[in-house]
Structure 1
Amino acid sequence: MKTVILALSYAFCWGVGLTLTKIALSEITATTLLIIQLIASVTFLATVCYFKDRQLPFTWSHLKQGFAGIFEPALAYMVGTFGVKMTTASNATLIGSSEVIFTILLAAVFLGEKLTRVKLLLAGISFIGVSLLMLKDAQGADRASLVGDLLVLLGTVFAVFYVLLSKKQIATANPLQLTASQQMVGLLVTVSCFSVLSILNSSYEVSAAGISLQFWLLAVISGIMQYALAFLLYLIALQNVPVSQAAFYVALIPIFGVASAILALGEQPSFTQWVGGVLIVASSYLANKLKTV
């Protein structure tokens, strides 16, 4: 029951957080939004750490421990945020659920977890689902949405590497301190990358000028939900279950993400995209029923 509650909690935070990000992008640039969200996440986690342990988890040893933050939130969300801006929130949420399948395959390679024919079959079904999600954008006149889909997919691959690295650490690490350290490393890497990019292209500059109060609040709330809470709950779950098993629960994210996108943004996925989403969610659900080793 505890695992189910954790799964529902981090799925809710990631799914709804993604939709809030999509709304915030209507007024805030992708680079600025990501920096605000990460600062909000790090501030929230640091505050909790201080009140809990009376210390901040930002010493050099803590930061070295948080190196997985380079992959996520840094690389995964730098790429993913630009992808979300160019595609729909529902597409981004559903494509992100393919993380389950990538995790199955890479966990077999790097962690030696068992890879069966059934898992490969489910991976194939999920791949077809992702392809159907992108089919409409690939055939349409607006190629930007297809590029957005591909960026979200690349961000998902980075996220899998984060999970594989974190699984090796979480057995002996404190989830709260590890999350805070990873988020801090992610913030430092993101700021560094955007600083370099802004020199090459001014569109990557970070500027909070002109952001209304309601969008400030939206950015902060989405940062705490999508980064601080979601990652913390996920690492807690990762303490008790194998990587593959923890990743399978990612299939729940589209339920919250698409539902919130429909309610908040009025998005209506096409029939083909619904079929693709159902294939991804169904394959992940069936994979969740498999016994892992």
Structure 2
Amino acid sequence: MSLLQKRKSLVWLLIFLITILWGYAWVLMKASLDYMGPFTFSSFRFGAGAVTLMLIVWIWKVGLPPKTYWRHLMIIGVLQTSIVFLLVMFALRFVEAGKSSVLLYSMPMWSSLLAVRFLGEKLTRRKIIGLLIGMIGLLTILGWDIWIGQSPEVIIGEILIILAAISWAISNIYYRLKVQNLPQIQVSAFQMLFGAIGIVAVTLVMEWGEPVVFNVHSIYYILFTGVLASALCFTVWFMIMSVVDMVTATISTLLVPIFGLMFSTWLLDEVLTTTILIGSAFIIIGIVIVQKKNPRQQ
């Protein structure tokens, strides 16, 4: 931590590396569907991630959260891990990985809208403009798919990912209201544990008995997304957020869908259409405007 506080160049290097890993994880999430069902993969991924985070909590001697917070952590786990990734992984059967990453990372727009209602934040002219631009981006991607005769499965998948982004935003608001006094690594570890339990329960009902292929590729996908991209990257991310402001951290996550688009085009041969590029640009610009503070607020 002291090294991060002294060397901001190291902070930005870590941000860059983490967002690359998160962008690459979208490719592995899509590729994992060749070996097992979407819910089964999520169970293995977040099971591995939860075990890793609990080990980190134990090594750092963070301890258990007070019992009064357990119900709140369960709710956050269901909203942020169970619902988000059950919807995303199911939708990835029909939607390209790059486009999926863009749609999910529309989350800051939904968070801003919910913050007005539940956190008492003001909907300034800057935020209204940013939200409108972001919504135009979403409509550009979704609307164009409808007009070009895209299959109903793709459109439904895209809607599911937007619902996942809204669930993620709700979890952010709930976190601010109920558990923001807890250590962030503690919140991450226990919400992922409860979220993984929820995913396993759904998997046992929906995909019990379906074939699962374990080989070098599928195990690599599970360990990379679960241990590295989920547990370890989130641990480092929480350390980074203690030395940079929240606005900078939020905007820097916009690198994730950019890398997701790049890796999916390069490794999965997905077509990067003009519509996706234009819609992605609108969403990213909208989020930057929404998150940017004016000089008086800074």
TM-score per shorter chain, which class?
0.7 to 0.9
Q: What is the alpha-carbon distance in structure 2 between the residues aligned to residue 275 and residue 227 of structure 1?
A: 29
- DSSP-derived class of the 1:86 partner: coil
- Counterpart residue type for residue 172 of structure 2: V
Matched, 1:131 2:139: yes
Distance 2:255 2:177 in 1: 24
Cα distance in 2 for partners of 1:241, 1:110 equals: 25
Give the whole-Å Cα distance in 2 for the aligned partners of 1:115 and 1:241.
24
Contact residue 24 and residue 215 of structure 1 kept, 8 A: yes
Counterpart residue number, 1:148:
157
Equivalent of 1:38 in 46, 49, 61: 46
C-alpha deviation, 1:142, in angstroms: 1.9
Give, as a single letter, the amino acid of the residue that structure 2 aligns with 1:172.
N
Spell out the pairing of 1:1-293 with structure 2 (5 A cutoff).
1=8, 7-8=15-16, 10-53=18-61, 57=64, 63-64=70-71, 66-67=73-74, 68-138=76-146, 139-168=148-177, 171-195=180-204, 197-198=205-206, 204-205=207-208, 209-233=212-236, 235-236=238-239, 246-291=249-294
- 1:65 and 1:178 in contact (8 A); partners too: no
Taking structure 1 as the reference length, the TM-score comes to 0.85
Structure 1, unmatched stretches of 5+, are 199-203
List runs of 5+ in structure 2 lacking aligned partners.
Answer: 1-7
Deviates more, 1:240-249 or 1:84-93: 240-249
TM-score (norm 2): 0.84
Q: Residues 155 and 133 (structure 1 numbering): CA distance in 2 closer, same or farther, change over 3 Å? A: same
> Residues 165 and 3 (structure 1 numbering): CA distance in 2 closer, same or farther, change over 3 Å?
farther
Q: 1:237 to 1:109 in 2, by over 3 A?
A: farther
C-alpha contact 1:89 1:261 (8 A) present in aligned 2? yes
| Residue 221 (structure 1) shift | 0.9
**Which SS does the other structure have where 1:140 is aligned?**
coil
Does structure 1 conserve the Cα–Cα contact (< 8 Å) formed by 2:43 and 2:203? Answer: no
Offset at 1:45?
Answer: 0.8
Q: What is the distance in 2 between the residues matched to 1:256 and 1:63?
A: 35
- Partners of 2:184 and 2:238 within 8 A in 1: yes
Match for residue 4 of structure 2? none
Query: Structure 1: which amino acid aligns with 2:224?
Result: I
Offset, 1:153: 0.6
Deviates more, 1:2-11 or 1:247-256: 2-11
**CA deviation after TM superposition for structure 1 residue 222, in Å:** 1.1
Q: Tell me if structure 1 keeps the 8 A contact 2:134–2:283.
A: yes
The change in CA–CA distance for 1:159 and 1:229 in structure 2 (over 3 A counts) is farther
RMSD of aligned C-alpha atoms?
2.8
Percent of aligned positions that are identical: 19
